């Protein structure tokens, strides 16, 4: 299950999370974002209970997007212990994303 993140719940859901977190920064008008969305959904199912998967609409959460310097979407970030530990800018196949999250699970 994916969790929708905004400026108000970012700290509680991401920074204070006991699980590692994969965040998908996206927008509904972004074609490449729509290409990566099914992969992110698969990861949420594959790693349920081991990884928290969140989505941040950059148009609806400009504060978090600005805080992390999001300039291109999709951008996927991995957080562990409240810190950003890895990221992927642009569309990537599932196996690439798995290699980015596996060290933190």
Residues marked as catalytic: 30, 33
70/58 Cα distance (integer angstroms): 8
Angle at 42 between CA 65 and CA 70, to 5 degrees: 15
3/79 Cα distance (integer angstroms): 14
Specify which residues 56 forms β-bridges with.
5, 25
């Amino acid at each position: 299950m994916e969790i929708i993140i905004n400026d108000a719940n970012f700290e509680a859901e991401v920074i204070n999370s006991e699980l590692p977190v994969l965040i998908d920064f996206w927008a509904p008008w972004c074609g490449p974002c729509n290409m990566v969305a099914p992969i992110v959904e698969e990861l949420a199912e594959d790693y349920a209970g081991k990884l928290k998967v969140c989505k941040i609409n950059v148009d609806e959460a400009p504060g978090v997007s600005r805080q992390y310097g999001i300039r291109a979407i999709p951008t996927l970030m991995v957080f562990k212990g409240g810190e950003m530990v890895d990221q992927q800018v642009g569309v990537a196949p599932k196996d690439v994303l798995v290699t980015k999250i596996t060290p933190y699970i």
